[in-house]
Amino acid sequence: MSKYFWISILIALTCLSGQLYGQRPTGGGVPQGQGSNTAVADSVRKANKIKPSYKPTGVRFGANIFRLASSALSNNKSQWDITSDIDFNNYMLEVSYGRASNMVVNDSLNYSNSGSFLRIGGDINFIKDKTDANALVIGLKYVRGTYNEDLSFVDIDTLFGNTARELSNKGLTSSWVEANVGMKVRMWEHLYLGFYFRYRFNLAVKGDREFGTYQIPGYGLEERRNIMGLDYYIAWRIPFKKSPKIEDSN
Amino acid sequence: MNLLKGISIFTLLIAILIGCQDIKDCQLKDDTNFYVVALFDKDTTSSTESVAFTSIIEESLNGAFYLDTTMSTFILPINTTDTVTTYFFESELGSDTMVVSYDFQYNIFFDECEPAQRFFGLQVLSHTFDSVSVVNDDLNNEIVRNVEVFLD
C-alpha cells in the first residue's frame, strides 16, 4: 500500500506543475492592426478558418515506470512494457508490447509464469490546444498475449498419502479488452510523463491446461474477471517537423 | 487548474484503493475430497432408508471409514492420488462393492496456500446394489447429496 501512496503523490505533483491547458494563442487569431471592431474580427476569423488536419504531428515512445519499478524491487518478478502513440488530430493510436515473468517459491508451492502481450487501440484526446501535444484521453484497447506456467508441490493427503506433483501449462493464449482514461503531460522539451487507468474485462484464455491458470502476464489474477489497474509512463516525443523559427525583423 | 487538482486527488485515491491487499485465507474454499451418499429402499423412494453397516472400507487402505454404525446418509472420501476409488460395504443386507471415477484440477487461489484440488465429473463405474444414481457430479461443500443408492 505505501508504494502506491508515494507514487500517487508523484502523480499529483506532476499534474499540478504540468502545462495541460496552454495559454498560448492558437493559429487564426485576430491579426494586429484590425482594431476592436467585432464584425471585422468575425469576418477575419471566418476567412482564416483552418480546416482540421489529420496528419500526424509526431510519435511518442515510452516505458511503464510501474512495471520497471516492480521488477527492480522484487527478485522474483521481471516485467517491462513499452508503448508508442501517434496522433491524428484529436485521435491517437497506441501500440504497446510487454513481457513479464513471475515466480512464487514457498513451503506450499513452487510456481512460475512467463509471457508477453501486445496492446493496440485508440484514444480520443480532449485537449484542443495541440501546442505541447499534451493529452487527456479516453480510449479502448484490445490486448492479446501468450504465456506458460509451471507448478510443483507436494499434495498432502492424510488418508491416502502424499504425492509430489509437477504440472505445466504450455502455449496458452489470453485476450482481453481495456477501457482507459489517462493523461500525458509535457514536462521538459520532448519529455512526457503520463498515467493510464485501465479497466480490464472480457478475459478469454485458450489452450490445454494441467492446472487452473493463476496469473496472466499483463492482466493479473485469472480468477478476477474485471480488474482496474494504474500504469505510469515516461515517454519521449519525436515531432515530425520542427516548429518554424521566429525571424528578427530588424 | 482546479480540474487538474481534482483529477490528481482522484488518481491518488484510486491508487490507494488498488494498493489494498486481499484478505487471504487458505481455508476459504468450497471444494472437498468426499461425496455424499443417501440410501433408499427401491420400493419407497420418498424417504431415506437406514441400514446397519458392519464396515465400509476402501480397497487400498488398511483402516475402515465406518465400523458398526447405522446410517441412511453418509460421506465417502475419494482417493485424491488417483482418479478411481473402490469401496467394500458389509451390512445387514450382505456384501456390496462400488467403484467410482472422477476428474480433478488443481487451482491456486493464494500464493501462500497449497494448491486446492477441485473434483468433478463423478461417475459410478460399477456396483452391486440394486441401482445407483449420480444426482450431483461436483464435490463441493454446498452440495447435500451426490449419489443415491437404491436397496433391495
pLDDT in tens, A111-143: 999 999 999 999 999 998 888 889 999 999 999
Angle between helices A2-17 and B2-19 (to 10 degrees): 170
Residue B25: per-residue pLDDT: 63
User: In B1-152, where do the E strands start and end?
Assistant: 34-41, 51-58, 64-71, 73-77, 84-91, 94-107, 116-127, 131-134, 147-151
CB within 8 Å: A5 and B4: no
Comparing CA positions, the residue from A207, A180, A235, A250 lying closest to residue A115 is A207
Higher pLDDT, B15 or A83: A83
Strand locations in A3-156, DSSP E?
58-64, 77-88, 91-105, 110-125, 135-155
Q: What is the pLDDT of residue B68?
A: 95
Of the listed ranges A7-11, A81-85, A144-148, B62-66, the least confidently predicted one is: A7-11
pLDDT value for B7:
61
For testing contact with chain A, the best of B3, B4, B16, B59 (most A CBs within 10 A): B4
- CB contacts, 8 Å: B109 with chain A: 223
Of A21 and B4, the structure prediction assigns the larger pLDDT to B4
User: B5 and A8 in contact by Cβ < 8 A?
Assistant: no
Name the pLDDT band for B140 (thresholds 50, 70, 90). Answer: confident
Q: What is the pLDDT of residue A249?
A: 43
Q: Does B99 have pLDDT greater than 60?
A: yes
pLDDT at B92 over 80: yes
- Proportion of chain A above pLDDT 90, given as a percent: 56
Contacting residues of A for B33, CB less than 8 Å apart = 157
Q: Is the pLDDT assigned to residue B85 strictly greater than 50?
A: yes
Give the per-residue pLDDT at B152. Answer: 79
Residue B91: the pLDDT is 94
Show which of residues 147-176 on chain A sit within 8 Å of chain B, judged by CB atoms: 151, 153, 155-157, 159-161, 163, 165, 167
Confidence bin at A43 (pLDDT 50/70/90): low
Q: Is pLDDT above 60 for B59?
A: yes
Whether B111 sits inside 8 A of A230 (CB atoms) is: no
Question: Among the ranges A166-175, A234-243, B112-121, which has the highest mean pLDDT value?
Answer: A166-175
Taking the C-alpha atoms of residue B81 and residue B87, their distance in angstroms, rounded to an integer, is: 16
Task: Considering only CA atoms, give the Rg of chain A.
Answer: 25
Q: What is the b/e burial string over B83-98, where b = at least 16 CB atoms within 10 angstroms of the residue's CB?
A: eebbbebbbebeebeb
Q: Do A106 and B4 touch (CB under 8 A)?
A: no
Mean pLDDT to the nearest integer, A106-110: 88
Closest partner residue to A230 among B14, B107, B113, by Cβ? B14
Q: Is the pLDDT of residue A105 over 60?
A: yes
- Residue A198 · residue A178 · CB < 8 Å: yes
> What residues of A are in contact with residue B111 (Cβ under 8 Å)?
104, 106, 108-109, 111, 214
- What integer pLDDT is reported at residue A5 of this predicted model? 47
Task: Indicate whether A26 pLDDT > 80.
Answer: no
- Range A94-107 average pLDDT: 94
Indicate if the pLDDT at residue A95 is higher than 60.
yes
Check whether A2 has a pLDDT greater than 80.
no
pLDDT at A25: 36
Percent of chain B scoring above 70 in pLDDT: 81
Whether B58 has a pLDDT exceeding 50, the answer reads yes
Mean pLDDT, rounded, for A10-38: 44
Cβ neighbors of A10 (< 8 A, separation 6 or more) are none
Residues of A in contact with B83 (CB under 8 A): none
Distance in angstroms (rounded) separating the CA atoms of residues B86 and B67? 17
Q: Which pLDDT score is estimated for B18?
A: 56
Contact (CB<8Å) B5/A109:
no
Cβ <8 Å between B115 and A151 = yes
Closest C-alpha among A104, A60, A51 to residue A82: A60
Whole-number pLDDT of residue A27: 39
- How many beta-carbon pairs under 8 angstroms link A with B? 109
Which has more confidence, A22 or A191?
A191
Of the partner residues B7, B33, B115, the one whose CB lies closest to the CB of residue A153: B115
pLDDT at B14: 63
Rounded to the nearest integer, the mean pLDDT of chain A is 82
pLDDT one-digit tens code per residue, B4-46: 545 655 665 665 555 544 555 676 567 789 999 999 988 877 7
Q: What is the pLDDT of residue B111?
A: 79
